[in-house]
Structure 1
């Protein structure tokens, strides 16, 4: 890049960026010195289960709305049009199902690690496999998240890339280690506000400098960026209504239903109702966030249609192009470039801090505590903080590996969630919805699902060529006839294009279907192996680990047939995970949980089932 083309920060921009990092550190320091001072694992990892729904919901948004989305979504809209916007249709079921299925089951069990459920339902081996899968997924994704804003900023402004990576990684590591989950959640609240402000500033200024709303609309319409509803059912089509609106539901379930980073926030809520309410509150905010990112991509196209700026960038990817657009729009407005960069780094900080804390939680609860049961609370808290710091340093190493890749960050992130999150989602669904599934079936299903999803994912990376771009020679010269084409014709027109065959078609599966494909594979293999090795009986299943989905679906059958086909034990007959493991002592009644009378009635049955289960294992 010619140095004269670089967009430079002013002193005010640097001050705003520094204030963001200082404020995040300050929140961490406050929670390190207030309350219980993070002296117990419950406070450090679970925020003492005392959070209200508002900060939890904002934290859930911040964790999902990473720098990958803030840069990747506008780049996708700029390149391929608004078809990606239809993923918003998946948000409804993708949040409704966790609110009414996963949260009630997991919250009543009073877990610290989501994967503790897998031991209660199956066995310790299944729990460890689920934990290791999550650790792998999150560590790789952390590298993408922390590197993305630093890389894009460097590509345009010359801002030293590794200085940005180190600042992000170290600040996030320190406030997560000092302040625990409370600091993570409250910094997420602050960073969410900064994210929305930064995106809104870019859009308002961009629309004004492009000539107003009508001019932006005219350019994106004539530039063929307003996509018709694509109803093509072909699963190899990258983005259609079905891949985004239906396949996206399974992606959302893998994130908001069973991912430790999100579930840990539900479990930190004061009551189950607060946890469910926080899930509902995420929906409008996610829609707003998606809309801002998509509109930003449209304004970006209206500004640059017909112009190729790749020769002006240190990297020609559209991800860097987004930052160039931001700096170009906000140049001459002191403080606003710094506000957007703060927005970008806020997204990165919120995501990776969530990752550090959740990784520390699952490592402590699943891999350390079971083997050191006599560890004191003070020692356990110290180890948890050391784990959070260690994962922070590992994040920097993963950022370097991300530096070696030259791909779209949005595609990489969604492929990763589908390849790894899909099988884990399938494993939880196998346990919650199918009482016949046993530990052997769960292990075989998870192994088969991971093998198949990695086969497809890696095969697509190696064999699939880049999708054709819609970038045109000019806003008003781009495919004018398409605007007169009916949506049905647009939806079905793709059938006439040549399609890959054989294994190449298999590798061409849209990454939005990865979660559904691998999840159903886990369930299918798990059920087959379970029936071959001896299905579990209802009385052998730990109470509270089954959601009676089949009982609800088959409610028209006589009760004796329902009992033969599925587990119909009411969810109220649930003991906490701690009670299940100890086998003695009764917890105080909790809102939405079992009463003391119910607990007294079912405790002998649970203890007998536990003894029988441990003997069998």
Structure 2
């Protein structure tokens, strides 16, 4: 399952063979439409070049990868929104509503906790540790080995997905509008590589802001024109209600039912946490804020933005449903996938208005650009901070910045290469997309293990992560194999299926309706776990296995964790215990007196030194495995820093 589908609730994309040639459309792209698309690319490139020129002479990694921690809350919030609002989601959400009704809208209930927890737990810890990469936290909390495992897992996750998110929407556009497939792939990839590698994070954030505006305008154009053609939004609601397309609250607690209120509202919380809590692309934006309060405020500002985007996507799906009730589809049109249905709908209602189809395609391009640029930037960051600088600490800031820019270009080439590979993968593409979602849950579990459980140690973290990944791949691949071996006419219960056709290749980002056949049992039923519970299930596996291994290996008695890496939930729960009982717990050394809440910021570890945010440097001997220790005779050096 891909990042946009996994985190927005849209089921996975698949490349499938198609028997029917796509129906011929009366509307085609005009010069005005192409001009709008080219203008988007030119303006995105111009923003990147502007910030590249503005940042000339500021050759530090802090400036290039963290925008010198100077960003305000609004651009950061819009960038957070754009990062995971890809073209796949822009097509998938209306397609889901068109096929299945508005039940998916209840995913919005998960946004509250999914953003509140990162704002008050993850952001304060990451920001006050003065880190650049989220995986630096893993070394401060556990060890270098855990940091390396987390970094390599993230790189694998992003590299697999980059080409898919670039190629899949381009393929759908080509099938419906005749938009040149590889022309759009190359244009997006090259433009994104240039402004990301030259302008750094500041350019990425401000282009995200611009692209967010374009996405909203494109979607609003579809809603306004479409609603006008079917008699207004009032009629849309009435007709959808009459045809049972306005869903009620389904309180069925069964986790094997694809969409229920509990699945969307609570299963979605874990997906939001893995996205907005520990994903490097988002953490990097929090860390670019001018202070901690701004970072928290940006997280709060995302909440209404997410709700607006969700509602607009739902409205497009409802308008499309009513429009095709009034204008029935031809039999060959009814066979196409939901994502293509959205594009056909756009061409049907906007085709007579030159420039507006181009605006919607520019909206899709914006979704792809924002996602890919975030991938490039975050990959460059973790590569330089987690893989290169720890082994070559003598690298100067100027050279490290140059290496970061080269890495941005290198990952751009990798992205184009992965797009080409995606075109050859056939049905295997679903596995590539699913890998992204499979990895998100275990990484969330790894960070939660460190943040909430002081007794967890390095051995538990490594074994727990491996157990979570094994469980994730078992369920994910088992679900795909199960769906491939089942009948092509009867889609699987969790909505991940294939449509059987003959001649052409099309992308389906559709969510199929559950079959009315008897429900599977045994492992088949296990494989039909709702995709919205994947993150919760896999992260819980990491935590349970990690705690068991930690307790079996002595916990953290011999090496207490850095107090600033712990959110003191368990210490507060155990505070009522007498001192004699506390001394028996396998998490000795934790002291809330020196916790993440203090206004003092610990120094960054660099080759046995603690380097501060300011001009000073404090040199100490760092204990084994790079930990800065707390009480019980261990050194814990702090440096006053203004936030």
What's the TM-score bracket when you normalise by the shorter of the two chains? 0.7 to 0.9
- Measure the CA separation in 1 of the matches of 2:527 and 2:196: 39
Aligned Cα root-mean-square deviation (Å): 2.9
- Measure the CA separation in 2 of the matches of 1:360 and 1:604: 30
Partner of 1:340: 360
Determine whether 1:442 maps to 2:461: yes
User: Could you tell me how far 1:234 is from its partner in structure 2?
Assistant: 1.2
User: Could you tell me how far 1:260 is from its partner in structure 2?
Assistant: 0.1
TM-score normalised by the chain length of structure 2: 0.84
Partner of 1:12: 32
TM-score normalised by the chain length of structure 1: 0.87
- Which sits farther off after the overlay, 143-152 or 570-579? 570-579
- Which sits farther off after the overlay, 151-160 or 109-118? 151-160
- Measure the CA separation in 2 of the matches of 1:80 and 1:571: 45
Cα distance change on mapping 1:468 and 1:296 into 2, 3 Å? farther
User: Could you tell me how far 1:572 is from its partner in structure 2?
Assistant: 3.6
Partner of 1:256: 276
Cα distance change on mapping 1:211 and 1:585 into 2, 3 Å? closer
Secondary structure class of the residue paired with 1:246: helix
Cα distance change on mapping 1:519 and 1:373 into 2, 3 Å? same
- Measure the CA separation in 2 of the matches of 1:35 and 1:607: 46
User: Could you tell me how far 1:219 is from its partner in structure 2?
Assistant: 2.8
User: Alignment partner for residue 471 of structure 2, among 432, 452, 459?
Assistant: 452
Secondary structure class of the residue paired with 2:389: helix
Tell me the alpha carbon deviations over residues 299-357 of structure 1, each in whole angstroms, 9 at most, x when there is no partner: 111111383457259x9221111111111110111111111111111111011101100
- Measure the CA separation in 2 of the matches of 1:36 and 1:275: 26
Secondary structure class of the residue paired with 2:604: helix
User: Alignment partner for residue 576 of structure 1, among 597, 602, 607?
Assistant: 602
- Measure the CA separation in 2 of the matches of 1:443 and 1:469: 31
Determine whether 1:30 maps to 2:50: yes
User: Could you tell me how far 1:417 is from its partner in structure 2?
Assistant: 4.7
Cα distance change on mapping 1:3 and 1:256 into 2, 3 Å? closer
- Measure the CA separation in 2 of the matches of 1:242 and 1:104: 29
- Measure the CA separation in 2 of the matches of 1:452 and 1:577: 36
Cα distance change on mapping 1:298 and 1:564 into 2, 3 Å? farther
User: Could you tell me how far 1:556 is from its partner in structure 2?
Assistant: 5.2
Q: Would you say the 8 A contact 2:164–2:433 is kept in 1?
A: no
Tell me the alpha carbon deviations over residues 163-219 of structure 1, each in whole angstroms, 9 at most, x when there is no partner: 111111110011001100000000001111111111001001001111222332233
User: Could you tell me how far 1:6 is from its partner in structure 2?
Assistant: 5.2
Determine whether 1:295 maps to 2:315: yes
Partner of 1:483: none
Cα distance change on mapping 1:301 and 1:402 into 2, 3 Å? farther
Determine whether 1:349 maps to 2:369: yes
Q: What number of residue pairs does the alignment pair up?
A: 575
User: Alignment partner for residue 449 of structure 2, among 425, 430, 433?
Assistant: 430
Q: Would you say the 8 A contact 1:251–1:418 is kept in 2?
A: no
Partner of 1:97: 117
Partner of 2:221: 201
Secondary structure class of the residue paired with 2:132: coil
- Measure the CA separation in 1 of the matches of 2:120 and 2:276: 12
Cα distance change on mapping 1:205 and 1:255 into 2, 3 Å? same
Unaligned runs of 5+ in 2: 1-20, 496-513, 617-626, 637-643
The structure with the greater share of residues assigned to helix is 1
Determine whether 1:71 maps to 2:91: yes
User: Could you tell me how far 1:524 is from its partner in structure 2?
Assistant: 0.5
- Measure the CA separation in 2 of the matches of 1:35 and 1:378: 13
User: Could you tell me how far 1:32 is from its partner in structure 2?
Assistant: 0.7
Cα distance change on mapping 1:90 and 1:401 into 2, 3 Å? farther
Determine whether 1:393 maps to 2:413: yes
User: Alignment partner for residue 480 of structure 2, among 451, 461, 464?
Assistant: 461
User: Could you tell me how far 1:143 is from its partner in structure 2?
Assistant: 2.1
